[in-house]
Amino acid sequence: MKLVHPPRADHEVAVPAAERDPSPSRKLLWEAGILVLLVLALIFVAPTVLSGFRLNLLGRFLALSIVALGIDLIWGYTGMLSLGHGVFFALGGYALGMHLKLQLPEGQIPEFFSLYGVTELPWFWYPFYSFPFTAVAVVLIPALVAAALGYLVVRNRIRGVYFSILTQATTIIFFNFFNGQQRLINGTNGLTNFQTLFGLDVNSSEMRFAVYVTTVVAVVLAYLLCRWLTSGLFGRILVAIRDDEPRVRFSGYDPTGFKVLVFAVSAALAGIAGALFTLQTGIISPNAMAVPFSIEMVIWVAVGGRASLVGAVLGALLVNFAKSLLSENFPEIWLFFQGGLFLLVVLVLPDGLVGWVRTQGRQLWVTVQLWRRRLANTSPA
Amino acid sequence: MLDGIPLSANPWHHQGKGFSGASVTQLLQLFIYGLVLGSIYALGAIGVSLTFGILRFANFAHGDLMTLGAYFGLTFVGLGWPIGVSLIPAALATVLCAVGIDQLIYRRLRREAPVILLISSFGTALILRSLVQILWGPNNQVYRSGIQLPWRLGELRIKPDWVVILVGTALLVVALHLFLQRTRVGKAMRAMADNFELAKVTGIDTERIVLWTWAIGAALACAAGVFLGMDTRLHPTMGWRLLLPIFAAAILGGIGRPYGAIAGGVVIGLAEEFSTLVINPAYKTGVAFAILVLLLIFRPTGLLGSPGGGEV
Question: Chain B closest CA to A167's CA: distance in Å?
Answer: 9
**A235 or A218: which leads in pLDDT:** A218
Residue A375 confidence (pLDDT): 82
CB within 8 Å: A173 and B290: yes
CATH 3.10.530, applies to B16-298: no
pLDDT tens, residue by residue, A45-88: 878 777 878 888 889 999 999 999 999 999 888 888 888 899 99
B295 touches A at CB < 8 Å? no
User: Per-residue pLDDT for B299 more than 90?
Assistant: no
CB contacts, 8 Å: A169 with chain B: 244, 247-248, 289, 292-293, 296
User: Per-residue pLDDT for B8 more than 60?
Assistant: no
CB contacts, 8 Å: A152 with chain B: 297
Closest among A90, A106, A130, A56 to A320, alpha carbons compared: A56
CB contacts, 8 Å: B250 with chain A: none
CB within 8 Å: A336 and B126: yes
Q: Which of A35-39, B112-116, B300-304 comes out lowest in average pLDDT?
A: B300-304
Residue B181 burial (CB < 10 Å; 0-12/13-18/19+)?
Answer: exposed
Give the alpha-carbon dihedral of A30, A33, A38, A39, to 10 degrees.
140
CB contacts, 8 Å: B139 with chain A: none
Residues B296/A162, Cβ–Cβ less than 8 Å: yes
Secondary element (H or E) of residue B157: strand B156-158
With a pLDDT cut of 70, the percent of chain B lying above it is 88
Average per-residue pLDDT for chain A: 82
Question: Which B-chain residues 176-205 have CB contacts (< 8 A) with chain A?
Answer: none
Q: Which of A169, A181, A332 sits opposite B293 (nearest CB)?
A: A169
User: Per-residue pLDDT for B17 more than 70?
Assistant: no
**Host domain of residue A265:** 50-291
Question: Which A-chain residues 291-310 have CB contacts (< 8 A) with chain B?
Answer: 295, 298, 302
Q: Which of B130, B243, B244, B295 to mutate to test the interface with A (most CBs of A within 10 A)?
A: B130
Residue B98 confidence (pLDDT): 94
Residue A23 confidence (pLDDT): 67
A170 touches B at CB < 8 Å? yes
Residue B15 confidence (pLDDT): 43
User: Per-residue pLDDT for B30 more than 80?
Assistant: yes
Residue B69 confidence (pLDDT): 94
- Taking CA atoms, what residue in A is nearest to B117? A346
Closest among A191, A174, A188 to A125, alpha carbons compared: A191
* SS3 (DSSP) at B30: helix
Question: Chain B closest CA to A166's CA: distance in Å?
Answer: 6
First-to-final CA distance of chain B: 27
Rounded distance between C-alpha atoms, residue B124 and residue A338, angstroms? 10
Q: Which amino acid is at A274?
A: G
CA atoms within 13 A on the CB side of A27: 7
Q: What is the mean pLDDT of residues A178-193?
A: 81
pLDDT tens, residue by residue, A93-113: 999 988 888 887 777 778 788
**DSSP structure string for B199-234:** HHHTT--HHHHHHHHHHHHHHHHHHHHHHHHHHS-B
Is the ipTM here above 0.95? no
CB within 8 Å: B300 and A158: yes
Domain boundaries, chain B: 16-298
pLDDT tens, residue by residue, B226-274: 999 988 889 998 998 898 889 889 888 888 888 889 999 999 999 988 8
pLDDT tens, residue by residue, A298-357: 888 888 888 888 888 988 998 888 888 887 777 777 778 888 888 888 888 877 888 888
Rounded distance between C-alpha atoms, residue A316 and residue A222, angstroms? 14
A158 touches B at CB < 8 Å? yes
Which residues touch A187 (CB under 8 Å, ≥6 apart)? A178, A179, A180, A181, A286
Residues A306/A75, Cβ–Cβ less than 8 Å: yes
Looking at the structure of chain A, the number of domains it has is 1
Q: What is the mean pLDDT of residues A120-148?
A: 88
Q: Give the 3-state DSSP-derived string for A205-237, with helices as H, strands as E and coil as C.
A: HHHHHHHHHHHHHHHHHHHHHHHHHHCHHHHHH
Binning pLDDT at 50, 70 and 90, where does residue B310 land? Answer: very low
CA atoms within 13 A on the CB side of B52: 32
Q: Which of B119, B244, B286 sits opposite A342 (nearest CB)?
A: B119
Residue B177 burial (CB < 10 Å; 0-12/13-18/19+)?
Answer: middle
Closest among B92, B69, B95, B45 to B230, alpha carbons compared: B69
The CA–CA distances, whole Å, from B273 to A254, B282, B285 equal 42, 11, 9
A338 touches B at CB < 8 Å? yes
CB contacts, 8 Å: A343 with chain B: 105, 120, 123-124, 127
User: Per-residue pLDDT for A125 more than 70?
Assistant: yes
Rounded distance between C-alpha atoms, residue A27 and residue A33, angstroms? 10
CB contacts, 8 Å: A172 with chain B: 244, 285-286, 289
Question: Which A-chain residues 246-285 have CB contacts (< 8 A) with chain B?
Answer: none
Q: Which of A172, A180, A345 sits opposite B289 (nearest CB)?
A: A172
